[in-house]
Amino acid sequence: MRPRRTAVLVDSAPRRVVPRTIGVGSTIAGLGCYLPERVLTNVELAKTVDTTDEWIQRRTGVRERRIAAASEATSDLAYKAARESLRAAGVAATDLDFIVVGTTTPDMVFPSVACLLQKRLGARPVGCLDVSAACSSFVYGLSVAHGAIASGQAETVLVVGAETLSRITNWRDRTTCILFGDCAGAAVLRPARPGHGFLSFCLGGDGSAEEAMCLTAGGSRRPASFETVERGEHYISMKGPDVYQYAVRAIPAAAAEALRRAELGPADVDFVIPHQANIRIIQSSARRLRVPLSKFFINVQRYGNTSAASVPVALYEAVQAGRIEEGRVGVLVTFGAGYTWGACAIRWGGAC
């Protein structure tokens, strides 16, 4: 589970470079974002748990995070981000052929958030799928959506990353509650002009360290009961240093592999949208990937780790800030419980 092993796992992915001409390419035609209003600062948090603003900022880079209102569930956040992404892409909900939602915090076990979203958006009765790959879920969702377009099953696909992690956070556990936040980001994928859009994907998973980051109760192994609640097993449990050690190797390895599959190298990269888990993980990933940190978009200081929403929200803000222009080449890369990781190379723009 430690360093050497991570490298082997990522390296053991298929060696073959998938030709970029297979099927129709796809790209991001529009983005959306929703941030709950409530801001919880470190200073405020330090009044309820034994920590300090200084400790949190130094170890994680986080200054504050958003917390969903009591009336807001994950599908409410997802809906607002999705609406904006549809407007930005210039498509109607009735144009959607497939709805994919990445989330670790669905409104309920079933039906899926994607189904709830289909109804709320007024989409046709198209395929609806929740992707469960923890923080990697959005990049996994992009891969599923890209595959649907490339294979001709869909033309317009909505991919959302939405989380209400505050609902599964133990606010008395200072080792985890400082890290997480709530929000949602969304992307509409459409066919791309040749040479634009997604150039490669690299997904990975390693279930050998399930206890490093997990939420044990509420599933079929340990159904929710009075006892599981009393023991706090419905909250995120994490071995922070173990997760850290794995992440700093898996993230750059996945990004490098996505670049290799696109026949690109670090010098070709104009921007990187990393999973916003911890500023030190991002800094270490930049060094290992040999891409200047200035090319990494960072907003972890404002939102903390928002799991599946982290990459789409960062991507949204990077575009809004003018950091990503048509034709620029970038990498989206993420990492999460499982462990899971995912990266893709993209040449920005080119929607048909």
Overall residue count recorded for the chain in this entry: 352
Q: Which two tokens stand for residue 286?
A: 């930049």
Footprint of ligand COA on 224-263 (CB under 6 A) = 238, 240-241, 243-244, 247
Cβ(279)–Cβ(60) below 8 Å: yes
2 C-beta neighbours (distance < 10 Å), count: 10
Active site (annotated) includes residue 214: no
Angle CA(302)–CA(308)–CA(310) in degrees, nearest 5?
A: 25
Q: Minimal distance in Å, beta carbon 141 to ligand COA?
A: 16
* Spatial CA neighbour of 26 closest among 122, 185, 153: 153
- The first and second tokens of residue 278, run together, are 């911890």
CA distance 97 to 79: 17
Q: Which of 113, 126, 178, 308 binds ligand COA (CB under 6 A)?
A: 178
277 binds ligand COA (CB under 6 A): yes
* Least Å from the CB of residue 150 to ligand COA: 28
Strand order in the sheet with 329-336: 197-205, 340-347, 329-336, 271-274
| Residue nearer to ligand COA on the CB measure, 49 or 329 | 49
Other C-beta atoms within 10 Å of 327: how many? 12
Considering the complex, state which of residue 119 and residue 287 has its C-beta at the smaller distance from ligand COA: 287
Contacts of 97 (CB under 8 A, 6+ apart): 126, 127, 148, 153, 154, 155, 156, 157
Q: Which residues lie below 8 Å from residue 279, measured CB to CB, with a gap of 6+?
A: 60, 61, 62, 298, 300, 301
Q: Which is nearer to ligand COA, 175 or 228 (CB)?
A: 175
- Could you tell me the smallest distance in angstroms from the CB atom of residue 85 to ligand COA? 23
42 is catalytic: no
Interface residue with ligand COA among 156, 164, 305, 340 (CB under 6 A) is: 305
Q: Which stretch binds ligand COA (CB under 6 A): 73-81, 122-130, 172-180, 260-268?
A: 172-180
- Residue 186 sits at φ, ψ, to 5 deg, of -145, 150
Helices (H) and strands (E) in the chain, counts: 11, 13
Q: Which is nearer to ligand COA, 152 or 241 (CB)?
A: 241
The smaller minimum CB distance to ligand COA, of residues 162 and 277, is found at 277
Binding mask 83-122 for ligand COA (x = CB under 6 A): ----------------------------------------
Residue 207 or 322 having the CB closest to ligand COA: 207
The residue number with the shortest CB distance to ligand COA is: 240
Given the residues 146, 275, 299, 344, select the one marked as catalytic.
Answer: 275
Beta bridge mates, 161: 102, 185
- Contact call for residue 59 and ligand COA (CB under 6 A): yes
Residues 60-79 that bind ligand COA (CB under 6 A): 60
1, 55, 120, 205: which one binds ligand COA (CB under 6 A): 55
332 in Cβ contact with 316 (< 8 Å): no
Indicate which residue of 135, 177, 183, 202 is catalytic.
135
Does 135 qualify as catalytic in the annotation? yes
* Residue of 41, 51, 57, 170 that binds ligand COA (CB under 6 A): 51
- In the complex, which residues of this chain contact ligand COA (CB under 6 A)? 51, 55-56, 59-60, 135, 174-175, 178, 238, 240-241, 243-244, 247, 277-278, 305, 335-336
The catalytic site residues sit at: 135, 275, 305
